[in-house]
A and B are shown apart, each in its own frame.
Chain A
Amino acid sequence: MITAGIDCGSQNTKGVILKDGEVVAKALIPTEFDADLAAQNVLNKILSDAGIKKEDISRIVITGVGREIVKWGDVEVNEVGAACRGAKRAFADTETVIDMGADSCRVIRLNPDGTVMKYEVNDKCASGAGTFIEAMARALQITTEEMGDYSLRHTKELATNAQCVVFAESEVISLIHAKESREDIAYGVHMGIANRIASMIRRVGLTDKYTFVGGPGYNKGLISCMSKVFEREIRVAEDNMFMSAIGAAIFGTEN
């Protein structure tokens, strides 16, 4: 059976083709201002990469915030359903999924059979989302990719106070002026986010097996801070960016 999953995120659109449980093609392009066009481009790219015709796909499944706009899929699955299927495929014993995107963060507690027990979403405030890290990287004049390595090289436990992106930008600049190192500031930024995510996790209940999906999973500094706060390993799936797209494709194989 061949299915396609397309995750229409606020920043990037991701697509995968799943053939008998194996990912045979994947692609990512920036969403920019036309979510529908981005989704079509991603679909065309994975079809040609996999050498598969559109007619051969049993189901095209759409997920992500762009579901509102992209209406030509065969079926839709919400972000929670997609993320937990993706996470469960990567680590079968997953109890809690942390799904962080550019503009939102979800914490999903799973039942042993993989169904959703309860979840928490924050998509109203940027303080716990990927955007926060990007804005802080800009204030530090380093790239988002560099944030992780800088943070891992920290030499002291610097704490940041501001939670709002707008106020945190000013705080980072005053910390630079106060001669704090970029490494320590990056660490402080990540610890701040880790603590905010921790409060979401407490609301769904603490567990032992955490799996992180979504773009910021590449940020080793963030993951290290989260492991420190939870005193548990935070596992990041390979292809963490594509987990929700894969989850959507899995959804297409059900029923």
Chain B
Amino acid sequence: MIANYGYEDGSGHYYIKIDTAKCAECEGKSCISVCPEKLFATELDDFDDEVVIIREDVRNTLQTACANCKANGKKELCLQNCEAGAIGFSW
């Protein structure tokens, strides 16, 4: 499943895409530990696979939360460290 967490408002769209099929296979799940804002968490999905999600309480503040990481001008830390290639950004 492609899960898009985030939102769109007048200023633009801010979604983090997680491909849970890839994520369920991933053992390291490094995204959780490398994110300085602790946006990622795991959850047993409806099919009892352990997948990564974006925490519910931060889904509507992604533009703010990712601003520091994106301001570096480099690839986001979660993207750099995602071994499964499961993460994508809409902005």
B55-78, CB < 8 A from A: 57, 60-61, 63-65, 67-68, 70-71
Selected interface stretch from A67-75, A93-101, A120-128: A120-128
Report the interface size for chain B: residues with CB under 8 A from the other chain: 14
Residues of A within 8 A of B11 (CB): 122, 124-125
User: Is A161 among interface residues, defined by CB-CB distance under 8 A?
Assistant: yes
Bound together, the chains give a CA A203 to CA B12 distance in angstroms of 15
Most chain A CB within 10 A, of B9, B11, B70, is at B11
Main secondary structure of the interface of B (DSSP, over half): helix
A-B contact count (CB 8 A): 33
Do residues A203 and B67 form an inter-chain contact, with CB atoms below 8 A? yes
Main secondary structure of the interface of A (DSSP, over half): helix
> Which B residues have a C-beta under 8 Å from some C-beta of A?
9-12, 57, 60-61, 63-65, 67-68, 70-71
Bound together, the chains give a CA A195 to CA B65 distance in angstroms of 10
Do residues A198 and B10 form an inter-chain contact, with CB atoms below 8 A? no
Q: How far is the CB of A181 from chain B (nearest CB, A)?
A: 23
Residues of A within 8 A of B65 (CB): 199
Selected from B57, B60, B68, B71, the residue in CB contact (under 8 A) with A163 is: B60
User: Is A205 among interface residues, defined by CB-CB distance under 8 A?
Assistant: yes
Band of interface residues on A: 10 to 19
Selected from B9, B10, B60, B67, the residue in CB contact (under 8 A) with A199 is: B67
Residues of B within 8 A of A203 (CB): 67, 70-71
Closest to A196 in B: B64
Q: How far is the CB of A48 from chain B (nearest CB, A)?
A: 40
Bound together, the chains give a CA A199 to CA B60 distance in angstroms of 13
Bound together, the chains give a CA A80 to CA B71 distance in angstroms of 21
Closest to B66 in A: A199
Residues of B within 8 A of A125 (CB): 9-11
